[in-house]
Amino acid sequence: MKRRTVYLALCEKCGLPKKITKYAIRNYWKNNITKDEYCSNCHHHTEIPEHLRKIAAELVGEAK
């Protein structure tokens, strides 16, 4: 059985996990296109800190 890696972001307000795709990490998180993640449960915007952006870039193998 092949293992799949799943990336999750947690809402600051309610704690609901949200699956983050490799596409989103590569194209939005790493390039600062997106400033926050939206929670569909409590409608809160959680800011993506700079240290997580650096980790995201390392995860997709394209560190700045």
What pTM was estimated for this model as a whole? 0.71
Query: In this model, does residue 61 exceed pLDDT 80?
Result: no
**CA dist., res. 4 & res. 38, Å (int):** 24
* Mean pLDDT for the chain overall: 86
